[in-house]
Structure 1
Amino acid sequence: MSTTDDTTPAIHDPTNIRQPSLKERWWHIMDTWKVGIIPLPLFVLAGVLIAIDCISGKLRSDIVVMVATLAFFGFACGEFGKRLPVIGKIGAAAICATFIPSAMVYYGLLPDVVVESTTRFYKSTNILYLYICCIIVGSIMSMNRTVLIQGFLRIFFPMLCGEIVGMLVGMGVGIALGLEPFQIFFFIILPIMAGGVGEGAIPLSIGYATLLHMDQGVALGRVLPMVMLGSLTAIIISGCLNQFGKRFPHLTGEGQLMPDSANVEATPAQPTLSGKMDVTTIACGALLAVLLYMLGMLGHELIGLPAPVGMLFIAVLVKLCNLVSPRLLEGSQVVYRFFQTSVTYPILFAVGVAITPWQELVNAFTISNLLVIVSTVSALVATGFMVGKKIGMYPIDVAIISCCQSGQGGTGDVAILTAGNRMSLMPFAQIATRIGGAINVSVSLLILGNFLV
């Protein structure tokens, strides 16, 4: 009777390799073939169901149907932008997710029922503010207290220097092109730094209508395209800065403003994700963000401070005073990461459909306007980069915050930080956009009303 030595290595026989079963092949497709974050089979199923609803003319605007609709179109546009050669690496995904839907609406390429349902859902739910509050609160709760204080104290100086230099450069370029100084400043440069549409372009148009005795619709039509082009320029620059940071990693903190933050973040005071949270902890993290935003809304009614800014200050106070437990901080971080990963492109698609007028953007594409806008935003960002480096901050991350000074409000911040892969900077972006824009609009209208009219 013969025996086989168990220590003898077995001869490798390629024919003995087990072929994956049909079930395993299907699972492989589900796990690896994706459009954005959506498995390809689910993406196809969503497209078929949306097409059926569109053909029947009954695409509902409730949250269940809209989750599928916005995810389908948003991730499709984002994936298309990511796969574009060269520009796919400098923010094309955020640009495509915002402006392709706007163009499709204008040229009638998007079914009317999709446009109507998306617009109704976006305007009736204020879904953007839910997104922003979860991003702001989650990013603040994930910061170290020391870094948070240092970042907020130092970020104002690069912002101020950037605005001054940006305005001077923009004025110089405009005058060199033969444009009227009054028109350059009040109808090109100021709208770029006004803080977006709701907090910038609309108050500006109201002020211009009163002080310059012009129709508000006409004023808004001249101001709004500059806001959009400034934001588009900032998105592209932010994407370029992200790539620049990959080539020169010593210039970036990958979402941290302070060079010493890597050491500070390792201290026991900074909670890290343990991976042992239950569903209730995550739910409480989401509820914390919502309640802080409601406090911000209350502050808006009492003192007129924009709700996102009020919420931001309250969240910082909560963090600095250790008013919530480390476990709840973890829940807030998970909520932040969920919204950053899963909701960004659907939100940008809704913004493109509901509030981004394609024709006004195209009409503003004149050589003189573009040169003034690009030079203004570039000078603003370059100044933020250099000043940030000079005062001991990560220059690329400071420069991306400077990009947000010329963003299209909250939606612009989302697109800019998405292009720059720095969503953790949202609290500082809100300061740059909301507070900086409000100061610019208020001071400029005060000057216009008392000295120039």
Structure 2
Amino acid sequence: MSDTIQANAATYRAPAMTSGSTSFWPTGWWRLMDYKIGIISLPIYAILVVLLGILTQQGQIKPDAPTMIAVLVLGGFTCAEIGRRLPILRNIGAAAIFATFIPSALVYYKLIPAPIEKSIIDFTKFTNFLYVYIAAIIVGSILGMDRNVLVKGFLKIFVPLGVGSIAAAAVGTAVGMMLGLGAYKTFFFIVVPIMAGGVGEGAIPLSIGYAAILGQPQGDFFAQVLPPVMLGSLTAILFSGTLNYVGKKYPHLTGNGRLQPPGDGALDLGATEQQEDSSSSSDINAIAAAGLTAIVLYLMGVMLFHLIGLPAPVAMLFLAVAAKLGSAVSPRLQSGGLVVYRFVRIGMTYPLLFAIGVSLTPWEKLMAAFTVANLVTIIATVFTLMATGAVIGRLMNMYPIEIAIVNACHSGQGGTGDVAILTAAERMELMPFAQIATRIGGAITVTAVLVLLRWIA
């Protein structure tokens, strides 16, 4: 009976394959559907362009989820695809750079229709989906991480981060002095903002502290510290993309997202098998439950922020680590968390970067930092931060490329910079450590510098 069914099936398929080789429908159409721009099928891409053009003309672009998903997916993957197709630049993170900074330039030069721009800004502001993304990335990557490497990594990451920060401050200030910027201006208004933790957690509290200590308007200081934040993040993206290329040429220098060799500790929960074929070991219920677990951990982080002042992403990070180490999450949910992580990384990264470029990346502030002296100082600061981290990491038996990339996040544009840097480096698995570098490293930098300024002012 089974032989008869198989024979009939073979007889049925043969004409379809023969006709498909000479006719457009359906084989040719399927081939066209399989041609993608980013993750978007080419015919769907064309339909999206036409639909959004018509909706824009009719004034029907709203900041609701379906419309904004279409807009951000179209814009993000279009910009990323341009970067991917550029010779040389595609090897050093051009996709992430283009997805972030092309929309910023388009906004500045009024090339994005005003209704679309306003809807993107409103959607990004009120949905706060940056933190949904970070929650999924952090929780998914931690749950899928080797337990021994996780513990050792968290304990050891502060050493290259701290030494790199001190070296970067010294070298950056010295370079600025040699270029005639002066030690005071270079240190407080170029070097420190780079490592302050971004805009919301870095530039803003830093400028408020400067205003309170020096008795001048906060807006004036904010205008001075913001350009180095933006350009420092761009430099970190370029360097991290370059390190990704170096890692492919010299694989012994990288763990491809792992901070250090596993050593003698066995991989718990069959992490290797989960990473190789997570889709076969996770059911839909587990994936959905893992996504909800990430949201719950983030909300617990928000609660801790209001209770003790610890930033919500950092609190969520520690909660996820505690859940992993305490075996509070079952292997089934951990497997589902890895699928959530992969889905968010592939499907949401470039749309998120596009939204960040439109709503949170002022092009004019970035351009304001493009003087020779500023540019050289910023490059020297970021390079020293990353290079020192790589050297110290190598001495501590950690992968130098991974440590350099984590240190790069210390010079990024906050959480948005972490996303862009790790996307360029193709190492989103490092997000938990990037958050330590950005949030905790930035908070320590701002606090220490304000204490220093009050002492010398």
Hey, what does 1:241 align to over in structure 2? 243
Q: Pick from 308, 314, 322: which aligns with 1:303?
A: 308
Structural mapping, 1:41-80, within 5 Å: 41-80=43-82
Assess if the C-alpha contact under 8 Å between 2:281 and 2:335 holds in 1.
no
- Count of aligned pairs: 436
Distance 1:69 1:182, change over 3 A: same
Structure 1 position 233, deviation (Å): 0.2
Q: Pick from 114, 132, 135: which aligns with 1:133?
A: 135
Partners of 2:387 and 2:269 in 1: CA distance? 33
Distance 1:165 1:62, change over 3 A: same
Partners of 1:222 and 1:125 in 2: CA distance? 29
Assess if the C-alpha contact under 8 Å between 1:143 and 1:270 holds in 2.
no
Hey, what does 2:456 align to over in structure 1? 452
Partners of 1:376 and 1:330 in 2: CA distance? 40
What letter is aligned with 2:312? A
**Residue segments in structure 1 that go unaligned for 5+ positions in a row:** 1-15
Give the secondary structure class of the aligned counterpart of 2:329.
coil
What letter is aligned with 1:351? I
Compute the TM-score of the two structures, normalised by the length of structure 2.
Answer: 0.93
Hey, what does 1:439 align to over in structure 2? 444
What letter is aligned with 1:420? A
Structural mapping, 1:112-151, within 5 Å: 112-151=114-153
Assess if the C-alpha contact under 8 Å between 1:417 and 1:423 holds in 2.
yes
Structural mapping, 1:230-269, within 5 Å: 230-260=232-262, 264-265=266-267, 268=270
Q: Does structure 1 residue 210 correspond to structure 2 residue 215?
A: no
Partners of 1:36 and 1:64 in 2: CA distance? 19
Hey, what does 1:336 align to over in structure 2? 341
Hey, what does 2:10 align to over in structure 1? none
The 4+ residue runs of structure 1 with deviation greater than 3 A are: 16-19, 261-271
Hey, what does 1:4 align to over in structure 2? none
Kindly provide the CA deviation profile for residues 78-128 of structure 1, in whole angstroms up to 9, marking residues without a partner as x.
Answer: 111111111111011111101100000000111111100000000011010
What letter is aligned with 2:355? A
Partners of 1:144 and 1:423 in 2: CA distance? 15
Assess if the C-alpha contact under 8 Å between 1:188 and 1:373 holds in 2.
yes
Structural mapping, 1:420-435, within 5 Å: 420-435=425-440
What letter is aligned with 1:320? L
Hey, what does 1:416 align to over in structure 2? 421
Q: Percent identity?
A: 53
Assess if the C-alpha contact under 8 Å between 1:196 and 1:409 holds in 2.
yes
Q: Does structure 1 residue 28 correspond to structure 2 residue 31?
A: yes
Give the secondary structure class of the aligned counterpart of 1:350.
helix
What letter is aligned with 1:27? W
Q: Does structure 1 residue 320 correspond to structure 2 residue 322?
A: no
Assess if the C-alpha contact under 8 Å between 1:147 and 1:264 holds in 2.
no
Higher helix share: 2
Compute the TM-score of the two structures, normalised by the length of structure 1.
Answer: 0.94
Distance 1:268 1:334, change over 3 A: closer
Distance 1:37 1:183, change over 3 A: same
Assess if the C-alpha contact under 8 Å between 2:20 and 2:27 holds in 1.
no
**Residue segments in structure 2 that go unaligned for 5+ positions in a row:** 1-16
Structure 1 position 261, deviation (Å): 6.2
Kindly provide the CA deviation profile for residues 257-311 of structure 1, in whole angstroms up to 9, marking residues without a partner as x.
Answer: 1123697438747762261432211110100000000010011001100000000
Hey, what does 1:8 align to over in structure 2? none
Assess if the C-alpha contact under 8 Å between 1:271 and 1:330 holds in 2.
no
Partners of 1:261 and 1:237 in 2: CA distance? 29
